Amino acid sequence: MSHSVITDELRAGVRACHAKGLGRNAIADELGVARGTITKVANELGLDFDRTKTEVATKARSIDQRARRQDIIDRLYKRAETVLDRLEAETFDALVPSAPGVQSHEVLPFVPATEERGLAGAMGFYLSSAEKLEKVDADKGAADGVSMVSEMMAGLKKMYETAPEPEVTDPDVG
């Protein structure tokens, strides 16, 4: 779709499609013009699009993403615990060189230093990653509060703008 010239005919078409309840994208498809053009015309005409479906879908996606993050956090903690259990076990199953180019399993009464460093690094990575993911949702509390207050303010503003003018009475009369 190319840039469109905004004509009275286009304005009328946008108004008619909007009256039928079509959204911005559907109007653009219907009239064969760019979505940005529809947005520009709608703003010019003072038309607004119902975004409740989009809001619901966005909130549902946010809830799904939060649940996925929580699952990943749980799995990261489980991996860290598994590594810690291995480090704290009474014996350690290690691969040790038994001949040039050959390794074999050997049960040791200690964790070799190189193995401990690697396992401790992995455990630190799992815990750090879990902590970062937890912060994503921990910060949402304040953001949700700000969002709620913003929505309340917008609602109050809309009520104020649409409220009828109060009658002014002269206290000296009557």
CA distance 87 to 111: 7
**161 falls within a domain:** no
Domain span including residue 63: 58-137
CA distance 129 to 44: 48
**158 falls within a domain:** no
Task: Tell me: do 63 and 133 sit in the same domain.
Answer: yes
pTM: 0.52
Predicted local confidence at residue 1, as pLDDT: 45
CA distance 13 to 19: 10
User: Helix 8-19 crosses helix 35-45 at what angle (to 10 degrees)?
Assistant: 90
Strands (DSSP E) contained in 19-160 are 92-99, 102-108
Predicted local confidence at residue 111, as pLDDT: 93
Comparing CA positions, the residue from 9, 33, 13, 10 lying closest to residue 22 is 13
**111 falls within a domain:** yes
Per-run averaged pLDDT (10 residues), the chain, 174 residues: 77 93 90 92 88 79 93 96 95 90 92 93 95 85 65 68 65 58
CA distance 21 to 49: 8
